[in-house]
Structure 1
Amino acid sequence: MSLRQDQIGWLLATATITLIPHFGHLPPLLAGIAAVLVGWRALIATGGRRLPHRHALSALAVGIIIAVLAEYRHFFGKDPGVALLAGLLGLKLLETRQIRDGRSVVLLSLFLQLAQFLYQQDMAVAALTLLGALGAVASLLALQSRGNASPRSRALEAGRLLVQALPLMLVLFILFPRVQGPLWGLPADAFNRVGGLSDTMAPGDLARLGESSAIAFRVDFQGEPPPSAERYWRGPVLTRFDGHTWRAGLLQLADQPSYQPQGAAYAYAITLEPHNQLWLLALDFPAVSAGTRISNDFQLLAREPVQGRRRIELVSYPHTPVGRDESGLVLRQALDLPPRSNPRSVELGRLLRARASSPADIPDLAIEHFRRSGLRYTLDPLPLGRDDVDSFLFDTRQGFCEHFSAAFVVVMRAAGVPARVVTGYQGGEINPVDGTLVVRQSDAHAWAEVWLAGRGWVRVDPTAASAPQRIENGLAAALPDSARLPLLVRADLAWLHGLRDRLDALNNRWNQWVLGYNPARQRALLSGLGFGDPDWQSIAALLAGGCAIVMGALTLWALRQRSPADAIDRSWQRFCRQLASAGLPRNSWEGPLDYARRLAHERPDLADTIAAIAADYASLRYGPGEADPDRLKRFHQSTRHFRPR
């Protein structure tokens, strides 16, 4: 059976809703191919043109395959697989002639809707997927119906079906045994697009992060959070320097820290966005919690890459002295400089060492020199020369935090003070809606650590010497060129901040209670409901029982519902009983029109009335299309007032 216009319209709408979210990560060529194919099918539907020949479709299929290979060089993985499905969806629309073809389009759409969650799992993606599912269900209803219906009534019918599925969905969500991690292995490229810090640093790296308003992590403090000046979230520690790029040194991992925590403590839970690295971005200096390790440079590390959103409860002690008994190898690495690199900065370090009465005075002298030099903090520094640090300190005199920290560490090493760069995040903004501290990629920061005899490793932030507002009030307050910042970070849009805070709070609840519903939370919920400490067998039994109860309730509800066809049959049965009481019963094998023809011979006086009622019933009950309202009203009135004698 050929498709009607309304059926094609629903299929096109479903395919469009499904493809739009994928255009953000598909290469422009493949996104354009999918859009052109869908648009082509829409033109055919509206203009009455013929569908392309199968040879043309075969050529298009080969072209899509070649385009995918040209972009990705292979077919295996998330990105090429999704791109191929997107192209095939548009291609399937161009060969859709019959109902079975339409069902294939719906099935492809559902696969692509599921694939959206391989990229993001936030509320916006869930809402788009729900809208796509509504379109898919409406398309299936249109494909199985015999008549046209308005888009509004079709959408309402699909919405009712989705609402009826909600109880079963909730039972499955709450009671399905939770498995930590995916149920199947994701392809190797599943995490190649995550952003954030790197384990290397070169001029401009953190400035690029400063232009992103994406959330890096959220923090819930138990009690008052630390002041802004102490909100240093430690990430990769970079020791090796080749004159341009900083890299991490060799790490030694332990289950317990080498320091003894002391001083003020901050207890908090941090929810990290996936970044596909091992670091966990804690305040200095944390006590190790379950599932974590700590390195010899005091980074808190996970045992496996953070490939999904992760919540960790920690306690940090920022005033703990660390590294007082540091090994000689670590200190020698923290003094190493490449030969013949940045000679002016090296000479500055030697001059500071000569002026200082002790090594402990050198960092203060360097900070004072930075302050007097008029260094400017900016997201858009001028290009640097061959010697990056010399060019920054003596020529351009403008840079971002990576310029300040790298220059400070080079000067310290030249002065004989062991030093290294620490990258991470600094600050964060309290969301007034839910009280969480939100740290964004634009809060990425780099600072320095110097080693002083008797004190160990001490944090020094040279950026604060030239841009103290960066530490106290965040990036937007410190930059004069705030127009370069993302809209959600700029300080001059209070109304947008309010909207952002509400959406962030809503997203945080979604992350904690939907995406964060893990085995531990499931057991805690069931224990709170009186099921003790259930194992997986008990949870499976509860799941089976819950599904049985929901399905039984839905079945009873469905049996009590009456459709318009039930009312038509009731009126017909009443009509037949009236005739039977007059001695004119209907045989069980007789259809309505045969019954009317027989009675026309037996009761000619009733022939016209009976024939009209029988014809209306046959058309309403068995005819194509939706019931005609005028005929339906006439049929009910005729049977109600029929009184044979």
Structure 2
Amino acid sequence: MSLAIKPGKADLHWLLGAMLLAMALHFSHFPLWTSALIVLFMAWRLLLQWRQWAMPRLWLLLPITLLGVAGIYLQYRTLFGRDASVALLALMLSLKLMESSTRRDYVILIFAGYFLTVTAFLFDQSLWVGGYLLLPVFGLTACLVGISYPHGVLSNRLRSRLSLTLLLQAAPLMLMLFLLFPRIPGPLWGVPQDAYRAMSGLNDHMQPGDISELSLSGAVAFRVQFQGEIPAQRQLYWRGPVLWQFDGRGWHMAGNDHAVEKLEGLGEAVSYTMTLEPHNRRWLLMLDVPHILPAGTFLTSERQVLAPMPVRTRMRYNGSSHTQYHLAAGLGSRELARALQLPPGGNPRSRALAMAWQRELQTPERIINAALTMFRSQGFFYTLTPPQLGDDAIDDFLFSSKRGFCEHYASSFAYLMRAAGIPARIVTGYQGGETNPVGQYLIVRQSDAHAWVEVWLASRGWVRLDPTAAVAPSRVDSGINTALTDNTLLPILARQDHAWLRKLYLNWDAVNNGWNQWVLGYNQQRQLELLSRITGTTANWQQLMLWLTGSLLLMALLLCALLFRRKRMPIDPAQALYLRYLAKLSRRGIQAGAGEGPLSIQQRAGKLLPQHEAEIARITRLYLALRYGPHAEPHAEPHAERKTMAELRSLIERLDC
């Protein structure tokens, strides 16, 4: 194949279509001006081909290229990282179209287009994206097939069929490599700097408005498959960051500088498998309180589970927890001081109320009951849109607005407890979840984010108290949707209306969950488990490599046998009649030589059978006309062809030699 030959119009159309499909997924990530320039350059290239205009000169393309690079730099303040690199690649490929006219140029663009297609997984690894990317891959392959054809222009139908055949032939090899090629630990689709910027989830601090803002997102936080029945909704507290330090407005995590709090489980533990979405933090969400940890993780002193590195890819792990327990029966002086810490000033009314409770009620249990009774009976309101709070945020909330979300209730309750001399801390995480009946697993979304309080009692250790449940008990019993008077701010999937849409989504989520578990979640552990099931023994890396090598060799042999097997060429009607004619000649000792043409056979047969010389000549002429004459053309008249075929059949049948 000469790389200097110019591809045809159809090749350009296939290339532009495939490149546009590959870039379409990125348009939502690109700045508007970048997407507009890409479409403009593609339209310009198409116009050049339609009007047969000359390609733009270097003196014009070079300034445009430099301006494009400068624009990307000014937009992202860098040329590296995920967002800037992909935008720059797409823009440069669209500019490359303006100077591409030979097969060599097209080959470069096609393989760069394959790479651009794969970059879509840097932004989204869902099942629908994987299915969609088959379209640009098919289009690029069809373009490659077209420019590789040495004998003119391929029809679109034949080009499509050949491309589909090539992709189907590659599918077994792809599957074998996916199953057996050693899995690389760590993120596959990730690059430095901005690859994890858009991930959402809990932070290591909490201020008024943080949890309510997170609750506006319908994104999935994690999915849970229980071994046995799913616990009751009010038991589904998913433990995340534990916050100790209060600065007058917000709560923050403290140092992990004391021993892990001792856990005494009451009753049987609950076992489950978590599939955690990436959130770019180290903590792993587990049912409150974790008992058995995933491999390679560790506990903080307050029994929060942490991974060695930030979770930047979807993570699957097993866990076991006690929903009934005694936690930290003893509390050291350092932990006690930390659990009672308050800023020296601020919120005077709240301090006075707590101190009055301490004097009058005396016992922690009665003080706790007084605080919860206040939330139940004094007109507090659970809402996603609370008013702004002033410098004394606790006072403003408790005595003025009385409107807040879970972080407002947890923060004010913990403050009151500390001011009354009761050790308290805030736990953030998620509460509840939605059962998907299709796959019998639990879906927990960002809209289920929640904050509650743990107070320390000498007789019981740390005890979970949820002041939100005193104001809106349905939040804990039935979910956030039922607790809000106006739930229109919640994402659609967190609400109970649109039943048909929810049913459609749950079915799709079950399919997508399978994709997450068996494709994106196919890690080293699952790979070795699969090989162990196949071999019946404990698998190791040496066995994996042997299986991979053997499978690839076997597949290569099968493909060679399939591709290079001797194929029986189809015989058209004219050739079938001519073979009958040759069979009659062979009975008279006239054998057609290998590669001998019809005219040569006619000359030999006419000399040996002079009485049939005229008939033999006529048969030869009719056969040549059908095979190589006007009748062989696609636009030939079918009536004339049928007449010639009938005459040839009649002559051969009458030939008596």
TM-score by length of 2: 0.86
CA contact (8 A) 2:574 2:623 kept: no
One-letter identity of the residue aligned with 2:132: L
Take 1:41 and 1:346, find their aligned partners in 2: how far apart are those partners? Answer: 73
**Corresponding residue for residue 95 of structure 1:** 99
Tell me: CA distance 1:564–1:499, structure 2 relative to 1, closer, same or farther (3 Å): farther
For the Cα contact (< 8 Å) 2:122–2:190, is it kept in 1? no
Task: Note if contact 2:15-2:110 (Cα within 8 Å) is conserved in structure 1.
Answer: yes
Alignment match, 1:311 = 316
In structure 1, the partner of 2:265 is 261
Contact 1:106 1:136 (8 Å CA) reproduced:
yes
Single out whichever of 393-402 and 182-191 deviates more from structure 2. 182-191
Matched with 2:532 is 527
Counterpart of 2:227 (choices 200, 222, 227) is 222
Deviations 1:262-292 (A, max 9, x none): 4331111111111121111111221243212
Residues 1:459 and 2:464 are matched in the alignment:
yes
Of residues 476-485 and 434-443 in structure 1, the stretch that sits farther from structure 2 once superposed is: 476-485
What amino acid is aligned across from residue 335 of structure 1 in structure 2?
L
Residue 149 (structure 2) pairs with residue 114 (structure 1): no
Measure how far apart 1:244 and its partner are. 2.3
**What residue identity is the alignment partner of 1:411?**
L
- Residue 503 of structure 2 corresponds to 498
Q: Quick one: which amino acid aligns to residue 432 of structure 1?
A: P
Tell whether 2:133 aligns with 1:126: no
Q: Match for residue 14 of structure 2?
A: 10
Following the alignment from structure 1 to structure 2, what is the Cα–Cα distance between the partners of residues 563 and 443?
65
Deviates more, 1:52-61 or 1:143-152: 143-152
Residue aligning to 1:488: 493
Partner of 1:392: 397
Q: 1: CA distance between counterparts of 2:324 and 2:624?
A: 97
Distance in 2 between the 1:467 and 1:361 partners?
21
The residue aligned with 1:204 is 209
Aligned pair in 2 of structure 1 residues 397, 630: CA closer, same or farther (>3 Å)? farther
CA RMSD after TM alignment: 3.6
Shift in Å at residue 55 of structure 1?
2.4
CA offset digits 1:138-180 (Å, max 9, x no partner):
2212222355556455434322322222222222122222233
Aligned match of 1:164 in 163, 169, 189? 169
Secondary structure in 2 matching 1:533? coil
Q: 1:179 aligns with which of 163, 181, 184?
A: 184
Instruction: Give the SS at the match of 1:393.
Output: helix
State the partner residue of 2:334.
329
Match runs of 1:416-565 below 5 Å: 416-560=421-565, 562=567
Q: Report if aligned partners of 1:262, 1:317 keep a CA contact under 8 Å in 2.
A: yes
Check 1:91–1:455 CA distance in 2 against 1; reply closer, same or farther (3 A cut). same
**Is the Cα–Cα contact under 8 Å of residues 121 and 189 in structure 2 kept in the other structure?**
no
Distance across 1 between alignment mates of 2:314 and 2:327? 30
Q: Quick one: which amino acid aligns to residue 157 of structure 1?
A: L
- Aligned counterpart, 1:190: 195
SS in 1 for 2:330: coil
Change (3 A) 1:319 1:138: same
Q: Distance in 2 between matches of 1:298 and 1:471?
A: 22
Residue number among 242, 247, 269 corresponding to 2:247 in the alignment:
242
One-letter code of the match for 2:58?
A: R
- Matching residue's letter, 1:492: D
How many residue pairs are counted as aligned between the two chains?
A: 632
Of 97-106 and 462-471, deviating more is 97-106
Amino acid at match of 2:523: N
Partner of 1:74, secondary structure, is: coil
- Specify the alignment match of 1:623 in structure 2: none
**Among residues 71, 84, 94, which one is paired with 1:67 in the alignment?**
71
1:338 aligned to which of 333, 336, 343: 343
The runs of 5 or more residues in structure 1 that have no matched partner are: 621-626
Question: For 1:564 and 1:41, how far apart are their aligned partners in 2?
Answer: 42
Q: Verify: 1:351 aligned to 2:319, yes or no.
A: no
The answer to whether 1:412 aligns with 2:417 is: yes
Report deviation, 1:630. Answer: 4.7
Q: Tell me, what secondary structure is at the counterpart of 1:287?
A: strand
Contact kept? 1:613, 1:638, Cα under 8 Å: no
The alpha-carbon distance between structure 1 residues 167 and 350, as it changes in their structure 2 partners (threshold 3 A), is same
Single out whichever of 408-417 and 604-613 deviates more from structure 2. Answer: 604-613
Q: Kindly state the Cα deviation for residue 323 of structure 1 after the two structures are TM-superposed.
A: 2.0
Q: Measure how far apart 1:631 and its partner are.
A: 9.1
CA-to-partner distance for each residue in 1:53-107, whole Å, 9 max, x for gaps? 3322222211221122112222232222211111112112222222222222211
Q: Secondary structure at the match of 1:321?
A: strand
From the CA coordinates, give the structure whose radius of gyration is larger. Answer: 2
Residue type of the alignment partner of 2:222: F
Whole-Å separation in 2 of the counterparts to 1:568 and 1:51 = 50
Taking a change above 3 Å as real, the CA distance of residues 242 and 638 of structure 1, as seen in their structure-2 partners, is farther
**In the TM superposition, what is the alpha-carbon distance from 1:190 to its structure 2 partner?**
2.7
Q: Is the counterpart of residue 272 in structure 1 residue 276 in structure 2?
A: yes
Say if 2:529 and 2:539, in contact at 8 Å, map to a contact too: no
Which sits farther off after the overlay, 308-317 or 371-380? Answer: 371-380
Residues 122, 189 of structure 2: 8 Å contact kept: no
Shift of 1:446: 0.8
Question: What amino acid is aligned across from residue 386 of structure 2 in structure 1?
Answer: P
Pairwise CA distance, 1:232: 0.4
Q: Which consecutive residues of structure 2, in runs of 5 or more, have no partner in the other structure? A: 608-612
TM-score, L = length of structure 1: 0.88
The answer on whether the counterparts of 1:359 and 1:452 sit within 8 Å (CA) in structure 2 is yes
Partner of 1:624: none
**Equivalent pair of 2:261/2:328 in contact (CA under 8 Å):** no
- SS of 1:424's equivalent in the other structure is strand
Residue-by-residue CA offset, 1:412-453 (whole Å, 9 max, x unaligned): 222222212111000001110010011111111111111222
